[in-house]
A and B are shown apart, each in its own frame.
Chain A
Amino acid sequence: MSNPAAESGSQQKLQLRSPGRMYVKAVFTGYKRGLRNQHENTALLRIEGVEKRQEVDFYLGKRCAYVYKGKRLTSVPGKGKEKSRVRVIWGRVTRPHGNSGAVRAKFSTNLPPAAMGKRVRVMLYPSRI
């Protein structure tokens, strides 16, 4: 799509706007665990605004992303020349956890423990509505 703001041909100059937040805020609370053992392959997420197990159904299967910054510049996928410090670990919401609206998620690689208490983005896709 050509940049509408720069296109001289179009009569209406559409401002290049970006939408606001297109994801639901969630927090990585910890790994799936018993009292004395934890299993790092499954992360527990608490999604903002979700207080009951019944409300979780909408979020099942949704992709989630842990976004963080590194020190070194890495290439941006899809744009060969561009480099950025932003990095992502992608995952999916798999199932509810408990009765209070917490959720389990599995990521492509286990979330680093430094991510605990940090923001995880739960996207609105794959959408079922």
Chain B
Amino acid sequence: MEPGMDFHQAFQAIDTDHSGEISVEELEDYCKKMNYKDTFVKKWLNLFDEDESGTITYDEYCNTLGLIPKQEVVEKHKVQQTKQAAGGSASGSAVSTTKTTTKTTTKTSAKGSASTSKQGRSRNEALSGTVLMKLSRARMFQRKAIYRLKKKLARGSGKSATAASASKVQLTEKVIGGEKNGGKRLVPDRRSPRSLPTSVPHRYSPPRPTKCFKDHKRRLRASITPGTVLILLAGRHRGKRVVFLRQLSSGLLLVTGPLKFNGCPLRRVAQSYVIATKTRIDISGVSLPERVNDAYFRRAKQLQAKRAKPSSADPFAKPQSAYQLVDERREDQKAVDSQVMTAIRASPDAKMLASYMRSLFSLRNGQKPHEMVF
């Protein structure tokens, strides 16, 4: 869950079909998506599901957290529920009404009704690293509520069953040349494969799926909050005290000098190369330009320049790799810095803070970093 997301939004994020209830499957999906431990599902059910229906309703959720249910959320759920009731099968809606009135004996039947809106979703999953499925055939029968479906089919007529079996193999008549070959033959439309596997191929899945960088969890030390003064430890701005603005989606920290104070521009910095001091500036009033993100700071690709080289034969042309100051950078720097500087001036010890920001950090004789409070 992103920081700053309120509880109502969180509920809606987990309740993906907006039915007004969070089912175990939705919890499991969310758990996987956010890479939580497996205990997350059980914990939530223990916490929120008071009537032990197997689902967490919006009311239960709000009760446990001590929130007032939001009107628009409740209305959204009502709309969704009426949609389900209208669109779902007759048996489906019948079960949903009984579910709300009586305390269900089996959790699976409750889930069966809730999943009418989730098409194509597998109710079963393989145990990690094996071919075995988590739920047995009997459990799956219950989950899918096939007993209801079978009754319906039986009522419908036997012809649907036979039609299904007949449509399995489609035959066409083909004329065959040559003598004594029978002239024509019934040939299946789809040929059976030349060789069939003798056993189901064992797909080995890695014990923990590897994530690509963009899916990694971004962490931020508790000591670093927006407005914290950071000391840069390496790079050309080492020793400078800069203001932390926010963490970008790549995990890098966005900082600014401000430029007038110490010559450090809007810049990205890695957490490891920074000491967080206890000095905080209140930058709640500072709004950062939308365009300042990771792509903003990315260096221009040099690939195009390399490709263009043989055609444009100018050996004296300066290589494009040198950084060029662009107007938009100046604009954004000014916009952000003016806000940050007003925030610094507004703080109780503004004068000292300003000279503090201008100063450089360094170690002196007798100073022990392991004993220092930053």
Nearest neighbor of A16 in chain B, beta-carbon distance: B263
B358 to A, closest residue via Cβ = A14
Known contacts A127-B273, A127-B275, A129-B276; decide if A22 and B239 are in contact (CB<8 Å): yes
The dominant DSSP class at the B interface is loop
The reply to whether B369 and A22 contact each other, CB–CB distance below 8 Å, is no
The stretch of A28-36, A52-60, A111-119 that contacts the partner chain: A52-60
Give the size range of B's interface with the partner.
20 to 34
Given A1-B263, A50-B368, A125-B233: A17 in contact with B272 (beta carbons within 8 A): no
CA distance A107 to B264 in the complex (A): 32
Q: Is the CB of A19 within 8 A of B238?
A: yes
A70 at the interface (CB under 8 A from B): no
**Is A14 touching B262 in the complex (CB atoms < 8 A)?**
yes
Interface residues on A, range: 20 to 34
A124 and B233 contact, CB distance less than 8 A: yes
Q: Which B residue sits closest to A61, measured CB to CB?
A: B272
Closest to B272 in A: A126
Q: Is A67's beta carbon under 8 Å from chain B?
A: no
Q: How far is the CA of A27 from the CA of B325 in the complex (A)?
A: 43
Option from A4, A18, A124 in Cβ contact (under 8 Å) with B275: A124
The A interface is mostly helix, strand or loop, or mixed, namely loop
Candidates B239, B264, B325, B368; contact of A19 at CB < 8 Å: B239
Find chain B residues with CB under 8 A from A23 CB: 363
Q: Using Cβ atoms and an 8 Å threshold, which residues of chain A touch B234?
A: 22, 123, 125
CA gap between A19 and B238 in the complex, in Å: 7
Give the chain A neighbours of B325 by CB distance below 8 A.
2
Task: Report A56-88 residues with CB < 8 Å from chain B CB.
Answer: 56-59
